[in-house]
Amino acid sequence: MQRRIPVSIAAVASLGIGAFSANTLADPSPEDAKDYRQAVMSSLGGHVKAISLHVRGLVDYDGYLAKHAEALALSASEIEQIFPAGSNVGDSEALPAIWDDPDAFAEAVAQLKEATAAFADATASGDEAAMGSAFRDVGKACKGCHDRFRKDDD
Amino acid sequence: MTIERSAAGGRALCCAAVLCLLTTAADAAGQDLVERGEYLVRAGGCITCHVAEEEGAVPFAGGRAIESPFGTFYSPNITPDEETGIGSWSDEDFLNAFWNGVNPDGDHYFPAFPYTSYTGITREDLLAMKAYLFSLEPVRQPNKEHDLSVLLSSRLAAGLWKRRYFEPGRFEPDPDQSREWNRGAYLVRHLGHCGECHTPRSRFGALERDRALTGNPDGPEGDKVPNITADPEDGIGEWSTRDIEYFLESGMLPDGDFAGGAMADVIDEGTSHLTDADRHAIAVYLKSLTPPP
């Protein structure tokens, strides 16, 4: 499962280059960068929700648990690029700590990448106990990062 | 003679067997009590305050800084160490702390210790909690002095506050409600002390009970704490009981997001360890709360 992710990234990247000229992609406006990152972060939530319904045995759409797990890992692998300096603008819950303490943020993101990749592997294995525990680790990584780097505004 | 002797011997043997059975039964009962206590201590969220923030801090030895608008409180050591913990407390001392907010010396506690909610816990549950805490390894760790504004730094102030705002009393089940609703009410209002964060407070720090669980714009550590009544707009009226149960188990919100902050600790240390039935009871109770007009 993990092996396929870089291929998917390459596919997405080449699509991007095909559709736009390279320099429009180079530097999005801060507002666009913020919109994009919020879209990616929401998609993570969507996949997690879909996965949770599978994991709890409430739905069983053949094969799609693994696909959501893969998509989740793909979105997670994108996070390190979608918080460019200067994009802390507008209506956003991102805390300045993301940019003030980049090493700590990178570590938290690395943890999520690892957890989502491990979860994708677990779904591929079909071992339910391993899946449950790997999914809890994904949740922990989400919480851990939100705890330090997102405004608690619920 | 022989008969007598053998009868006496038999009696002795029999007594020994009964005694042995009794001790085993007592051990088992003690073990059950400790396990029940452990569960209740989980449900009571004791550990979220009674452990220091530092990595590797000993659970229940206290030392966590709790920021409030009135100053910084430091949670005390509740391991059974005789000198620095609660090892010398009697059952009555323990009950008195939870029911009346008074320490064994007769001093008033500040309501940072949520006796305002804990006052409703049953005697049976409290003694089980005490049995669990007393089964732990004693840790020698002196308590840190609270760091409060001058006006409040006296326990006398806590006494005055209590006289005005504290109403002691055990939980009374509502006979018109279901068993699970009552269990949920007990867990939410008393043992789980949800209102201590989710209910707004007056400027004197008193819980505004007619607005119970409608959220607190200025909660612990300055965080905004959400409305958890069934209000469909501001509260969790759109959540199903199953959403609430799964949130308390895993921390996942209905939209797939994971909350951080203090609630993450409450879930990790507390609600994720509860039985499904208790999480369900909490959900049933919360869903029944209509927001005040």
Percent of chain B with pLDDT over 90: 64
B22 pLDDT above the threshold of 70: no
Residue B16's pLDDT is 58
**pLDDT value, residue A5:** 46
What mean pLDDT value characterizes chain A?
84
Contacts with B271 (C-beta within 8 Å, 6 or more apart), sequence order: B43, B192, B248, B249, B279, B282
- Mark out the alpha helices in chain A (DSSP H runs): 4-19, 22-26, 30-55, 64-78, 97-100, 102-125, 128-149
The string of pLDDT tens digits covering residues A104-143 is 999 999 999 999 999 999 998 888 888 888 998 999 999 8
pLDDT score of B186: 98
pLDDT (0 to 100) of residue A18 = 45
Q: Judging by beta carbons within 10 Å of its beta carbon (0-12, 13-18, 19+), is residue B78 exposed, middle or buried?
A: buried
Residue B15 confidence (pLDDT): 55
List the single residue in A with minimal CA-CA distance to B257: A45
- Mean pLDDT across B79-97: 97
Q: How far is A133 from chain B (nearest CA, A)?
A: 11
- Report whether pLDDT(B81) > 60: yes
- Would you tell me the crossing angle of helices A64-78 and A102-125 to the nearest 10 degrees? 160
By the CB < 8 Å criterion, does B222 face chain A?
A: no
Q: What is the pLDDT of residues A87-102, one digit of tens each?
A: 999 999 999 999 999 9
**pLDDT reading at B125 higher than 50:** yes
Chain A with chain B: Cβ pairs closer than 8 A? 55
pLDDT of residue B145 exceeding 80, the answer is yes
pLDDT at B158 over 70: yes
HEC profile of B33-68: HHHHHHHHHHHCCHHHHCECCCCCCCCCCECCEEEE
pLDDT of B202 over the 90 cut = no
Our CA-based measurement puts residue A146 at a distance from the nearest CA of chain B, in whole angstroms, of 5
A22 to chain B nearest CA, in Å? 33
Distance of CA B153 to the CA centre of its chain: 25
Region B77-87: mean pLDDT is 97
- Mean pLDDT on B25-41: 89
Reading the block at residue B232, the tokens are: 């469909």
**CA of residue B93 relative to chain centroid, distance:** 16
Query: Which among A52, A136, A148 has the least Cβ separation from residue B256?
Result: A52
Strand ranges across the sheet with B65-68:
B65-68, B71-74, B147-148
Of the candidates B252, B256, B260, the beta carbon closest to that of A147 is on B260
Q: Which residues of A touch B255 (CB under 8 A)?
A: 45-46, 49
Q: A115: closest CA among B258, B26, B90, B39?
A: B258
Provide the pLDDT for residue A4. 45
By CA distance, what is B222's nearest residue in A? A152
The 10s digit of each residue's pLDDT in B48-60 is 999 998 988 999 9
The pTM is what?
0.81
Q: B13 pLDDT band (50/70/90 cuts)?
A: low
Amino acid at B71: G
Please name which of B225, B74, B260, B98 lies closest in space to residue B171, comparing C-alpha atoms. B98
* Other beta carbons within 10 Å of B260: 21
Phi and psi at residue B65, in whole multiples of 5°?
Answer: -80, 130
Contact present, A104 and A148 (Cβ < 8 Å):
yes
Give the residue from chain A lying closest to B234, CA to CA: A154
The three-state secondary structure class of B176 is: coil
Residue B11 scores a pLDDT above 60? no
B198 min Cα distance to partner chain A (Å): 12
Please give, rounded to a whole number of angstroms, the shortest distance from the CA of B238 to a CA of chain A: 15
Predicted ipTM? 0.71
Q: What is the pLDDT of residues A66-89, one digit of tens each?
A: 999 999 999 999 999 999 999 999
Query: Quick one: average pLDDT of B77-103?
Result: 97
A interface mutation test: which of B239, B257, B267, B269 has the most A CBs within 10 A?
B257
Tell me if chain B has a CB within 8 Å of the CB of A46: yes
Question: How far, CA to CA in Å, does B10 sit from each of B25, B185, B188?
Answer: 22, 54, 55
- Name the 3-class secondary structure at B90: coil
A151 to chain B: which residues are within 8 Å by CB? none
Core vs surface per residue B172-198: b (16+ CB within 10 A) or e: eeeeeeeebbbbbbbbbbbbbbbbbbb
What the block records as the tokens of B162 is 């209590």
Residue A151 vs residue B4, higher pLDDT: A151
- Indicate whether B148 pLDDT > 60: yes
Rounded Cα distance between B143 and B46, Å, is 16
pLDDT tens digits along B260-280: 778 888 998 899 999 999 999
Tokens representing A118? Answer: 């491990």
Tell me the two tokens of residue A151.
């405004």
More confident residue, B135 or B13: B135
A16 part of contact set with chain B, CB < 8 Å: no
Name the more confident of B7 and A136: A136
Asked if A139's CB is within 8 angstroms of B256's CB, the reply is: no
Higher per-residue confidence, A115 vs A25: A115
What is the pLDDT confidence band of residue B6, given thresholds at 50, 70 and 90?
Answer: very low
The torsion angles phi and psi of B41, rounded to 5 degrees, stand at -65, -35
Mutation site, B223, B225, B252, B271, interface A, largest A CB count within 10 A: B252
As a whole number, the mean pLDDT across chain B is: 89
